[in-house]
Amino acid sequence: MRGFEMICEIEPPTRPDLTHARHQIGVLSPVTDAFLIPDNHIGRATVSSIAVAHEVATMGGRSIACVNSRDRNLLGFRRDLLTAAAYGVEEFLFVHGDKPTAGNRTGDLTVRAMMDEARAASEDPVFADMPAFRVGAAAGLRPLPTWKRAADFLFVQISYSVDALLRWRDAHPVELPIYAGVMVLASAGMARRLAAAIPDIDIPDNLVQAVERDQAAGVEAACDQVLRLRDSGAFAGVHLVPVSRYRQVATRLEDLL
């Protein structure tokens, strides 16, 4: 098993240009063990997470491609598995997906069905001689469904409370790697949007006030949270979302880690 891992999420391209994605990868690489590539992030169209994950590999990095059930039927998902195998993308995070900004959600697939299908691929002659896919799922700070325990790893939802994350971990003594969610708070407006999107998230008022006074406070708080989670020994690593502050996050973590 690897040591404490930093898995950094990058902002996926919303235009047919990978320049910004490459820049994030290059800047964060010194402090990152793997990159999580979102899939049609916050319900809007982006470049394929599998294509960007392949780009990470060409730059010498490890990637986890996020794939949502919202946008796919079974045939489309099987296409994604074939594409991933052709590109050498082996790790996935399967999620439900946010409400789309255009079109409707499909009802053909669930996260559980995608996990089962990815597992079944290892028995399919089409994927002969290919490494088995590693599949992960997301977990909220609530009771963990039994079927999610069959994942290879879990990503716990973003939280601004180390204590809340540790309480959840104590209540779920599973053996698989679990990554705690940490997100840089970039502004007070972002805090309001998060509170509206994630009803059970708890963003401390003193953090919001500190960020209003100095935007660097959000970076400092996130990096401090990473260190506290590492020192707790409760998690395999963190899923860090630096948002637009990835340069500052990389600089600060280079000093701390």
Q: What CATH number is associated with residue 156?
A: 3.20.20.220
Residue 100 has pLDDT above 60, yes or no: no
Q: What is the 3-state secondary structure (H, E, C) of the chain?
A: CCCCEEEEECCCCCCCCCHHHHHHHHHHHHHCCEEEECCCHHHCCCCCHHHHHHHHHHCCCCEEEEEECCCCCHHHHHHHHHHHHHHCCCEEEEECCCCCCCCCCCCCCCHHHHHHHHHHHHHCHHHCCCCCCEEEEEECCCCCCHHHHHCCEEEEEECCCHHHHHHHHHHCCCCCCEEEEEECCCCHHHHHHHHHHCCCCCCCHHHHHHHHHCCHHHHHHHHHHHHHHHHHCCCCEEEEECHHHHHHHHHHHHHHC
pLDDT surpasses 70 at 104: no
pLDDT score at 230: 96
Please give the average per-residue pLDDT across 207-213, as a whole number.
Answer: 92
Region label for 43, one of left (φ > 0), alpha (ψ between -120 and 50) or beta (otherwise): left
Please report the pLDDT score of residue 103 as a whole number: 59
Is residue 1 pLDDT above 70, yes or no?
A: no
Tokens 């996020």: give the residue.
66
Cβ neighbors of 157 (< 8 A, separation 6 or more) are 138, 139, 140, 141, 181, 198, 201
Full residue range of the structural domain in which residue 70 is found: 5-255
Minimum mean pLDDT range among 38-47, 119-128, 143-152, 154-163: 38-47
The percent of residues above 90 in pLDDT, for the chain, comes to 81
| Range 170-199 average pLDDT | 90
- Residue 97 — pLDDT band, cuts 50, 70, 90? confident
Mean pLDDT of 173-185: 95
For residue 196, the model assigns a pLDDT of 80
The residue whose two tokens read 């990389």 is 250
- Structurally, the chain folds into a number of domains equal to 1
Q: Which amino acid, residue 249?
A: V
**Model confidence pLDDT, tens digit, residues 114-137:** 999 999 998 999 999 899 999 999
Return mean pLDDT, the chain. 92
Mean pLDDT of 161-168: 95
Q: Give the residues across from 46 on adjacent strands.
A: none
Look at residue 51 and tell me whether its pLDDT is greater than 80: yes
Residue with tokens 């990637």: 63
More reliable by pLDDT, 198 or 37: 37
Are the beta carbons of 134 and 91 closer than 8 angstroms? yes
Q: For the residues 155-171, what does the mean pLDDT come to?
A: 95
Using the predicted structure, report yes or no on whether residue 197 has a pLDDT greater than 90: no
